[in-house]
Chain A
Amino acid sequence: MAAIPLLPKRFHGPSVWALYALGFIPAALAFYLGATGQLPGNAVKEFEHLLGLWALRFLVATLTITPLRDLFGLNWLRYRRALGLLAFYYVLMHFTAYMLLDQMLRIPAIVADIARRPFITIGMAALIMLIPLALTSNNWSIRKLGQRWNKLHRLAYVIAAAGALHFAMAVKVVGPKQMLYIFLVALLLAWRAVRTPFLRWKRQRTAVTRSHPATQKAAG
């Protein structure tokens, strides 16, 4: 496999900060376009939907880090926290835009939406589940929680599934875009199911290659 050029270690920290900075560009740009009247048609909805879509993209990206390492040996673990937190911030902005710009703080309407519209209930549930994950996305929490941190952060799977479902249920006709995210999330979750046996097989193979290199050559 062609090696991906490794980023020199001294750039690791800055690259994470660059990811945060880049990650906020879509929101900032859309906000600027919306505020200056340059978003077409229903500007508030456009903005709201863009934030939601990017939240989903960041959720998918967060879940992609592990398979990338498993399958391609690409260790981008250092970006996972940033991606997860970006997803959280986008979900939060998505909800804030809905609450302030779309519903203009009509609290009864918002409460009725959350209670009665399944897709909004699901979206809201995802936002609430993201809160403990965002609060524990720091080294101190990882040390403090130990194994429980891993268990807690498996909520990311439920959140991603909720996000994809929320997207599909919000539209009148489920189209290719919604299908794509359902497919990606399903694929990423399915990977978690086959991951352990795959890693075991990979370890064994590596062990065999190391101990009998000649056999491998002959077989090849």
Chain B
Amino acid sequence: MPAYRPPRIAASEITPERFFLDRRSFLAAAGGLVLGGASVAHAAELKASASPFKVDEALTPEKDVTSYNNFYEFGTGKGDPAANSGGFKPTPWSVKVDGLVGKPKEFGLEELLALPLEERTYRMRCVEAWSMVIPWIGFSLANLLDKVEPLGSAKYVAFETVVRPEEMPGQSGYFQPLPWPYREGLRLDEARHPLTILAVGLYGKTLPNQNGAPIRLVVPWKYGFKGIKSIVRISLTETAPPCTWNLAAPDEYGFYANVNPAVDHPRWSQATENRIGEGGFFGSNRRDTLPFNGYTEDVAGLYAGMDLKVNF
């Protein structure tokens, strides 16, 4: 498998995202700070240090990152999350971390935002064969796991999304696309990998509701559906936790869900992807999909000896 090495750019060379905020979004961000818990709070500016994890590819425009989303709790259309998440209240918020840990704890959002935040520009490859490049702000999941002291018996990490039918229209009504809560899981070593983060912002601001406010998982070498949004619970377990899409269609969505151009989805090829917001209508925005989404060098070791066609 060809290895791809993401270029490492010195932290000092990276201009913090907040310096390129234009006047309007700066004002919106400032307004969000003033209003605190109001619904515009998701525009609040977020300070983060630069990180060497930065893909050297053009960023997907913020407009696309925040308007083209899969977040079935707000509807199945790509524009639904942006259109229907206005009533969602990402504050106050807390995340319960429990299971096979020495010190289970419920973390308040403020506490999580106080962790050392980094800006990480990652590729995001959706299982539907489209992709983006997103400047996330977040902290290493390992950092959080250390605080609860996982027991030796812990092998997996389970994640759970909030259930709020009154604020999430996709969770109520006659047609509900998935059983709630949305669940995802990682092997403990995947969860502790330096690339794995819990994101609390993007483009220099706190996460918009449609992107999984106030806190979501980002695992850049896996398909996007592993990146569970609006997390309320993280549990360490001994056995592989149930994962929503894997349960819905086990032949289509594996537990690992590592980006792999050689293993097609039964209904479409995974060899290429459409980069959202690029190339336009006629130009070439279809590009080859990279093994492990371009992070082979960093993560291939996690799967040494495994048949990735079986463990897809």
Binding site for B on A (CB under 8 A): 34-35, 37, 39-45, 47, 101-104, 106, 109, 112-113, 116-119, 169-173, 175-176, 179
Contacts and interface: CB of A to CB of B under 8 A. Distances in A.
B175 A175 contact: yes
Q: How would you classify the secondary structure of chain A's contact residues: helix, strand, loop or mixed?
A: helix
Nearest to B173: A176
Given A35-B281, A172-B76, 5 more contacts: A41-B276, A43-B281, A113-B269, A176-B175, A179-B175
B79 A40 contact: yes
The 8 closest A-B pairs by CB, nearest first: A41-B68, A173-B177, A34-B281, A176-B175, A35-B281, A43-B281, A175-B76, A117-B267
A172 B286 contact: no
B118 to A, nearest CB: 28
A73 to B, nearest CB: 35
A116 B265 CA distance: 11
Contact of B281 (A37, A169, A176): A37
B282 interface: yes
B281 A45 contact: no
B15 interface: no
Interface of B: 64, 67-68, 72, 76, 78-79, 128, 130, 175, 177-178, 248-249, 264, 266-269, 271-272, 274, 276-277, 280-282, 284-286
Contacts of A176: 175
Contacts of A179: 175
Contacts of B68: 40-42
10 contacts: A34-B281, A35-B282, A37-B280, A39-B281, A41-B79, A42-B274, A47-B281, A106-B286, A109-B272, A119-B267
A72 to B, nearest CB: 30
Most buried by A among B248, B281, B285: B281
A117 B268 contact: yes
A35 B266 CA distance: 31
Chain A CB count within 10 A is highest, among B67, B177, B178, for: B177
A207 B232 CA distance: 71
A34 B181 CA distance: 36
Contacts of B286: 102-104, 106
Contact of B178 (A39, A41, A109, A173): A173
Nearest to A176: B175
